[in-house]
Chains A and B, each alone.
Chain A
Amino acid sequence: MNLPFPFGFPAATQLYLVLLVATLLVHMVFMHYVLAGTAYLACGRLFGQRQAADCGWQQRLVDWLPFATGLAITAGVAPLLFVQILYQRGFYTANLLLSHRWMAILPVLLVCFYLLYLQKSSWIARRAWVWRIGVIWLAFAGFGFIAWSWTENHLLSLDEAVWAELYAAGGLRYATAGLLPRLAAWFLLAFPTLAVELFWQGWLCGEPLDRPASESTRVLGLAPVQRLAVMGLAGLVGGTVALVAYAATLPAETRAAVTGPVGFWWLSAMGLGLCLQAGVWGVAVRAGRLGRPLAGLLTAGWLLGLAGLLAVREVIRLEAVDLEALLPQHERAAGIGGFPVFLIFATLSAAAISWCVVTVRRGLSSRV
C-alpha cells in the first residue's frame, strides 16, 4: 500500500477510520483537559493555599473539571462505537481477558467524577488544606488508573499471540515493553493540550494574556502565559521522548509502516505540530505574553499534532491486526442503512449546541 492513511483502504474501512480518528480527537480534547488538569491541580495544591488562590488556572480547573469530565465521557462514546465496528474481535477480547480489572475503571471513574464535584463544593472549602490535597490526589490516582487500563487494553488487543496463554493464566494483567512509554506519551502530551485550552479559556474570560503580566498575577515569578508555556514545553519534550521510547519497542515492520508511505505524512504532521507548539511557547516564555496571531498558530500546531498522533496510532494498529479478516465486516456495516440519518441529526445537534452557547452568552450579557 503506497497511499497515506486512510487512503488505500477500501471505502467502508476508510469511512470508519476517519470517523474513529475524528471523534477520538474530540474525546482527546476533553480527556486531556481532565487528565492533565487533575495532575496540574494535584501538584499545584502542594505549593500551598495562598499560591493556589493566586493561580487563576487552578481556580478555573476546579470550576470546569467536572463539566470537562462529563464531556470527555460523552465524547468518548462515539469512538467507542466505531472501534467496535473496526476492530471488534480484538477490542472485545482484550476487554474480556482483563475482565474484572478492566471493569474496575467504571466505579473508579464514578468516584473520580464525584471527587471533582466535591473539590468545588463549599463543604471541602471549609475543610483543612490537606483534605483538598487528598481529594485531588485521589482523583488523579483514579484517572491515572483509567489511563493505564486503557493503554493496557489497547496494547493487548493488538497482541493476539498472547491471548490464549493469558486467558489460561487468568492473571488479569498484561505487561509489555511498550506499556510504560506509551502511557507516558499519552499522559505527557495531555499537558500541551491543557496549556492551549487554559490559554483560550483565559482569553474568553477577558484576561489580558497578550499584554505584560502584572506582579499580582505572577506565581513563582512567572506570568500566567509563562506558566502555561513551561507546562506546554515540558509536556512536549517529555511526550516526544516517551514517543521515541515507545517507537523503539515496536516491531521493525510496524516502524516501517509508520515511516513508510502510509504513515509518513501523518508522522510529519505530528512532528510539525509539535515543533510549531514548541516554537510558539518558546516565544511566549521570553515575552511573557502571547498575542492572538501566535495563539492561532499554536492552536493550529496543537490540532495538527494531535491529528497526526491519532492517525499514526491507527497506522500502528492496522499493521498489528489481521486487516484482511476485518474488511468484510466493515463492508457489511457500511452497507447497513442509517448513515444519512446520523449525518442529518449530528448536524442539527451541532447547530443546536452552537445556538445554546451563543444564546447563553447573549443572555448573560443582556443581564450585565
Chain B
Amino acid sequence: MLRNALRVPSGRIAAVLLGIVFFLAIFGPLLAPDAPNTTVAAQLQGTSGAHLLGTDYVGRDVLSRMLAGSTLSVLGALMVVVIAFVVGAIPGLLSVYLGRGFEWVSLRVVDTMIALPFLVFAVAMTALLGNGVVQSMFAVGILLSPVFFRVARSSALSVARSQYVEAATLSGASTAWVMRKHFLAKVLPPISIALSTTMATGLVVIASLTFLGIGVQPPTATWGGILAADLQYIAIQPLAPLVPVVVILAAVLGCNLFADAVRDVSGEAGRQLLNARAARKAGKLTRVPRARIGLRKGGELG
C-alpha cells in the first residue's frame, strides 16, 4: 500500500515533506548552529549570515530554536497519535466482540467526545493535571481517540461479517489467526488515513497548546511557543511569525497529502486509478477515463 501511495503525485509530495519534517525532528537539535536557549546576539535582528533566520526578542538564534523545537513538536504529535490509537482502537475492537452493553456505552462516550469543543478540554485537562508535556500529550491523545475507535470498530465489523472469517473458522482456524491474517489487509488503508489526519491535528493542537503556554514552559523551544513570542514583536519583525507558520503548515500539509494519497489509491476506485495511470504511461490511453452518468442509466433513456 505504501508503494502505491508513492505512485500518485500527492503521495510523493507528502513523502518529501514528511521526510524533511522527521529529519528535522530527529537531527534538528544536532544541526543547530547555536544553543537554542542562550542569548547569542543582539535582539530581534533580521536575517544575516551568522543567523539565517535572525534572532528573537531575547537574542537567541531563531534557526537553532526552530531546529531544537522540531523534536518536541513533532515527537509530541507522534506520541499523541500513538496514545489516541491505543485509547481508541482497543475499545473500538472490543465494542464489536464484548456484547451489547459495552457497545452501547462506548458508542455514547464516543458521541460525547466528538461533540465536545476539544481545544477547550485539551487546555483544561493539561493544565489541571499538572501542566506538563506528558499530560498534554495524554490529554490530546485521549481527546483524539474517537477517530480510531470508529475505524477500529468498522474494520472489525466488516471483517467479522465477511466470508473470510466464516470460511476460516469453518476450517478450524483459531480466531487469533483469522484476525491477524485478514484483518490487516482490509484495515490498513483506513487506519493509515486516520493516523495521518490525527498526526496533522495533533501537530496543530500541540502547536496551539504550546502557543498558549500550556504544557511546555518557556524557555523550552517549540514551534507554537516561538510563534507566540513572535506575535508580541510583530510590529518590529513582521515576517518573523511566518517562519513557524510555514514549518507547521508544511508538516500538516505533508500529513494531509499522505492521507489523500492513501485514499486515492485504495479500494476499487484506487485500483482503477492506478491501472489507468499505468496504461497512460505506457501510451495506451489519452486520458484517464471517468465514469460518466448519462447513457448508462438504462430505462431512463430507453
A and B assemble together: no
